[in-house]
Amino acid sequence: MKKLIFLLSIGFAITSFSQTEISGKYDHIGKFYNGVALVKLNGMTGAINSEGKEIIKPVWDKLSAFGNDGIAYAFKNGQVGLITAEGKILSEPVFDHIGLFHGNRAVVKKNGMEGIIDINGKILVEPKYDKLKVEENGLVKVFQNGQESLLKIDPPAITN
């Protein structure tokens, strides 16, 4: 009888410690960074939050890690755009390349031409220049057909 009571006690103790699955099933769940983990399902990438809730469906070829600003680079069909950690698309994936953001602006390349977007995905300078270089005080030096010009972007970028 003592053995039966002991076994029942063990069984009750084991069943009282429960666990709850909080996320869907994925092929891979990455490390959490800034409260977001990238997930893979059938070769596509998405993201979940720390509660296991899917915040970005796994429909992207690749997502970069989310920065402190909550924005990541989203890749699809060889193109790149911008997406927030809440799943809001700031810029559709239409660029060949988006550079690193400096002062909330980044150089973009599309069809071999360069332009500038802001952190919200707004195009500030259409990608129609052979090359460009961001200068001080909102000035941008553009190169096209062997000639140089200056453009002024208002307001000037915030510098770190």
CATH number at residue 70: 2.20.25
Tokens 């084991």 sit on residue: 14
* pTM, rounded to two decimals: 0.79
Note down the domain range covering 89: 23-95
> Do 13 and 23 touch, CB atoms closer than 8 A?
no
Q: Are residues 127 and 74 in the same domain?
A: no
- Per-residue pLDDT for the chain (160 aa), expressed as one digit of tens each? 566 555 555 554 544 455 655 566 899 999 998 889 999 999 999 999 989 999 999 999 999 998 888 899 999 999 999 999 999 999 999 999 999 988 789 999 999 999 999 999 999 999 999 999 888 778 889 999 999 999 998 765 544 3
Torsion of CA 139, 145, 147, 149, to 10 degrees: -20
Please give the pLDDT value at position 67.
86
Containing 17, the helix (H) or strand (E) segment is none
Q: Are residues 108 and 84 in the same domain?
A: no
Domain boundary among 75, 95, 115: 95
Say whether the peptide bond before residue 155 is cis (omega within 30 degrees of 0): yes
Q: Is residue 4 part of a domain?
A: no
Domain boundary among 76, 95, 114: 95
Q: Are residues 115 and 141 in the same domain?
A: yes
Q: Is residue 30 part of a domain?
A: yes
Q: Is residue 70 part of a domain?
A: yes
Please give the pLDDT value at position 34.
84
Please give the pLDDT value at position 153.
86
Please give the pLDDT value at position 159.
44
> Do 30 and 23 touch, CB atoms closer than 8 A?
no
Q: Is residue 45 part of a domain?
A: yes
Torsion of CA 122, 59, 22, 53, to 10 degrees: 20
